[in-house]
Amino acid sequence: MTDAVVINEVGLRDGLQNQPKWVSTSDKLRLAESLIDAGVRYFEPVSYAHPKAVPQMADAAEFAAVLPWRSDLHYTAMVPNLVGYQRARDSGFHTVALLLSTTDSFNQRNLNMSRDDALTSCVQIIAQAKLDGIRTRAYVAGALACPYDGKVDTGVTVSLANQLFSAGADEVGIADTIGGGHPRQLQQVLRPLIRDVGADKLLVHLHDTRGLALALAWSAAELGIRRFDASIGGLGGCPFAPGATGNVATEDLVYLFENAGLSTGISLEGLRDSAALAASITDTAASGRIFYWADSQQRRGKPVNLDEHLTP
């Protein structure tokens, strides 16, 4: 298993979608460019949800048009349905992300569909994407806990993930959407999937609601998972999942993996600038724990360069 970790930056989509302050297209571009300068190469910058449902994503097509499209940059668009998929395809995306929640309650509030209908929608999108030569990443949302129905049986999550693979999904993301899971539970989901399809076809998406996101990330990494979603400054929260706070902070995940000898290719000092920008454009205290520590050192007259301080 490789020692390289891919961190997929979802701050521009998942991080901003629940922000009360409107973030302009130009500010989104500034943040994207800052993250690129820091070494981030994988992004989920937009969602093609209906603007009435997710107003922050109303400029998805406009933002996609001004993003720097380079061969070393990899963009994924979130699509809630076939219409959203078509808009993403027409905007030039070569990878799309789909959503399937573990319960009827969550699917109804997130997609206005039952779980069975949401699965059918995913299957249809995957089939069309294959015809169009577009890759698909299908997320099992609420994989460990549902915001409405509580803890989710691991067998349900594994079964849904397998059905998405059987439909032809190129990759499946296991999403602890409300940060309600624990490391052993995540491993119980991942072990059979890794056995059946391999770790390289799986991605983990974590929220830090109860402070366990880094523990869950490490538990996944120990099983060989090398693809993770994260959000600059820990921004995030699902508008359809009460109590879902921010994603695991990109900077904390980078610090964790780099200290453990796993390469991310991302500069912590660069991310420090990105987090400051994210805080500025959202009017929030967007910062991971590692930056709070670095700031405390600076206040003590002991400034540190985080890229040179990768051992405890």
Which residues participate in catalysis according to the annotation? Answer: 238
CA dihedral (130, 136, 139, 140) positive or negative:
positive
Is the distance from CB of 73 to CB of 38 less than 8 angstroms? no
Task: For CA atoms 165, 168, 169, 170, give the dihedral sign.
Answer: positive
For 130, half-sphere exposure in the C-beta direction (CA atoms, 13 angstrom radius) is 9
Structure tokens at 290: 């590692």
d(CA 4, CA 277): 27
Report which of 30, 23, 32 is spatially closest to residue 54, judged by C-alpha positions: 23
Q: Where are the alpha helices (DSSP H) in 224-288?
A: 250-259, 268-282
CA 123 and chain centroid, separation: 21
- Write the DSSP symbol of residue 6: E
Measure Cα distances from 35 to 6, 7, 27, 32 in Å: 14, 12, 12, 5
| DSSP-assigned letter for residue 112 | S
CA distance 178 to 242: 8
**What angle (nearest 5°) sits at the alpha carbon of residue 63, between those of residues 176 and 22?**
70
